[in-house]
A and B are shown apart, each in its own frame.
Chain A
Amino acid sequence: MIAFDYIRPGDAAEALQAAAERPGARFIAGGTNLLDLMKLGIERPRHLVDIGGLDLRTVSETPDGGLRIGALVSNAELAAHPLVRDRYPVLSQAILAGASGQLRNKATTGGNLLQRTRCYYFYDPASPCNKREPGSGCAALGGFNRIMAILGTSAHCIASHPSDMAVAMRALDARVETRLPEGTTGDRKLDTLYRLPGTTPHIEHTLAPGELITAVLLPPPVPGRHHYRKVRDRASYAFALVSVAAVVAVEDGRITQAALAFGGIGTMPWRDRAAEELLVGATPGQDLFERCADAVLARAQGHGGNDFKIPLLRRTLVACLTDLTEDAR
């Protein structure tokens, strides 16, 4: 780990000022991902602004009936929160399907959104990686790419986004609240926080330098049943090979609401609104679910070692939709 300057501000204004003072400064919260990468020399921040002392640890109802989740709320607290379990169970399920008890106690809401890929080649400084070292190439393309993405990839990067929590948040139409160094606030859809790799896989999000995530906002809960279904190589404490976050409502034998997001398959937490539109108004059934999978996978591309994700996602999605609509049929 290279040496760094360190500061622990007492509030958000101080944190923003500190980050603005020293260009290239990074915010650190739980540290479960950033410190890991710093030990390996993959992240090399010269200035660390420790935001652990900021008052961003509350979950509260918003006037419109939604939820405001402070950026420093731990993954464990969020998954256990009564309002989350009651109104957004897919979010609680997704968080509990990821990491370990110890990591969930430390990892934060904002940090989870910004965690970096677990691509083996990104983690191996001896391998070329356009994300770690722009222009060096992508060792995953012709390498061992079992865990890599099948959607949103480019000729420069096929790394998958590792978060479970962010997948559920995409299905829930979450928004991200930020504060900028000049004192203004930002508000963007989670969909627009992330960037596809394209020719610049090292640029993963749309945050400006020194922009701080202060909260995630969930809209009022929509009617429907929630489910997060994750498939992985071991029963616990493993990243998703594929996962599906689904919120589906059925009334009078027809699907009236469908939100679907996917983990393990995309270079960012994936959502496909065209696939959802196909479901709404239709009668649930195997054929419909297969067509929905066709839509999600229309542009999917395997890279050899991860070809299996295409049929695996199809089966996982069909199984998930079947579970959610079974007793309504």
Chain B
Amino acid sequence: MPWIEADESVPLTLSVNGVSHHLDVDARVTLLDALREHLQLTGTKKGCDHGQCGACTVLVNGRRINSCLSLAVMHRADEITTIEGLGTPDALHPLQAAFVETDGFQCGYCTSGQICSAIGMLDEWRAGWPSHAGAGAGPARTIDAAEIRERMSGNLCRCAAYPRIVEAITRYAAGEGAEA
């Protein structure tokens, strides 16, 4: 691939929630802005835009990242999953349902990031990835609140709904999550 000059736009195909989208964007456009402003997938939220709050969390090839700190042009070969790809209002993802059941939010702005992050986090847990909370991870163990809090520390909730966010993730992990 040759240099793309600063005044040129970048033709780009992004695969989001299983659908290929053709875009023509400035190289400065972040993955977050491509999703929200170009593809109208506004479920992913912009909070701080600096990787500090986690509201923009999406899954790239199954791994959670801050979409605000990545350029759209870097994701030509990737499969991106946003909250819109997890569930719909008529068919909630079980983790979305758990957030509703436990009232795991107040204003809801951080929620899609919390949910995408938790999906990625539980995959990391099942893969046996360690954490600063120190307990060993793995499919044989049920994740506890200390592990969830540590592993979810990149997702802030200004309403401080943390106890019920932890409850929602715990319920989901004990049910659907354990079967995955």
Do A and B pair up? The answer is yes
- Taking Cβ atoms with an 8 Å cutoff, the residues of A that contact B are 1, 3-10, 18, 21-22, 31-32, 35-36, 39, 46-48, 50, 52, 76, 79-80, 85, 92-93, 96-97, 99-103, 105-106, 235-237
Number of A-B residue pairs, CB cutoff 8 Å, is 114
Given A36-B51, A102-B66: A79 in contact with B130 (beta carbons within 8 A): yes
Bound CA span A297–B26, Å: 50
Q: How far does the Cβ of B20 sit from chain A's closest Cβ, in whole Å?
A: 19
The reply to whether the CB of B70 lies closer than 8 angstroms to some CB of chain A is: yes
Q: Which residue of A lies closest to B54 (CB)?
A: A102
Bound CA span A80–B3, Å: 36
Given contacts A4-B6, A6-B4, A32-B69, 5 further A-B contacts (CB under 8 A): A4-B27, A5-B6, A48-B27, A50-B71, A102-B64
Q: Which residue of A lies closest to B149 (CB)?
A: A236
Bound CA span A9–B4, Å: 12
Interface of A is mostly: mixed
Given A3-B28, A4-B28, A105-B65: A236 in contact with B51 (beta carbons within 8 A): no
Bound CA span A47–B30, Å: 17
The reply to whether the CB of B128 lies closer than 8 angstroms to some CB of chain A is: yes
The reply to whether the CB of B36 lies closer than 8 angstroms to some CB of chain A is: no
Q: Which residue of A lies closest to B116 (CB)?
A: A102
Given A7-B1, A80-B129, A92-B130: A102 in contact with B117 (beta carbons within 8 A): yes
The reply to whether the CB of B153 lies closer than 8 angstroms to some CB of chain A is: yes
A3 contact from B7, B57, B69, B154, Cβ within 8 A? B7
Q: Which residues of B in the span 50-69 have a Cβ within 8 Å of any Cβ on A?
A: 50-51, 54, 57, 63-66, 69
Given A3-B26, A6-B27, A36-B51: A31 in contact with B64 (beta carbons within 8 A): no
Q: How far does the Cβ of A11 sit from chain B's closest Cβ, in whole Å?
A: 12
A96 contact from B28, B120, B121, B131, Cβ within 8 A? B131
Residues of B within 8 A of A96 (CB): 130-132
Bound CA span A225–B64, Å: 32
A106 contact from B3, B70, B153, Cβ within 8 A? B70
Q: Which residue of A lies closest to B3 (CB)?
A: A7
Check B1–A8 contact: CB distance below 8 A: yes
Given A1-B28, A6-B10, A31-B69: A101 in contact with B64 (beta carbons within 8 A): yes
Check A35–B69 contact: CB distance below 8 A: yes
Bound CA span A36–B149, Å: 25
Bound CA span A31–B60, Å: 15
A sample of 15 inter-chain contacts (CB < 8 A) reads A1-B28, A5-B4, A6-B4, A7-B1, A46-B6, A80-B127, A92-B130, A93-B132, A96-B132, A97-B132, A100-B54, A101-B154, A105-B64, A106-B65, A106-B70
Check A50–B74 contact: CB distance below 8 A: yes
Q: Which residue of B lies closest to A1 (CB)?
A: B28
Bound CA span A213–B143, Å: 37
Residues of A within 8 A of B129 (CB): 76, 79-80
Instruction: Identify the interface centre among A22, A102, A105: most chain B CB within 10 Å of its CB.
Output: A102
Check A6–B120 contact: CB distance below 8 A: no
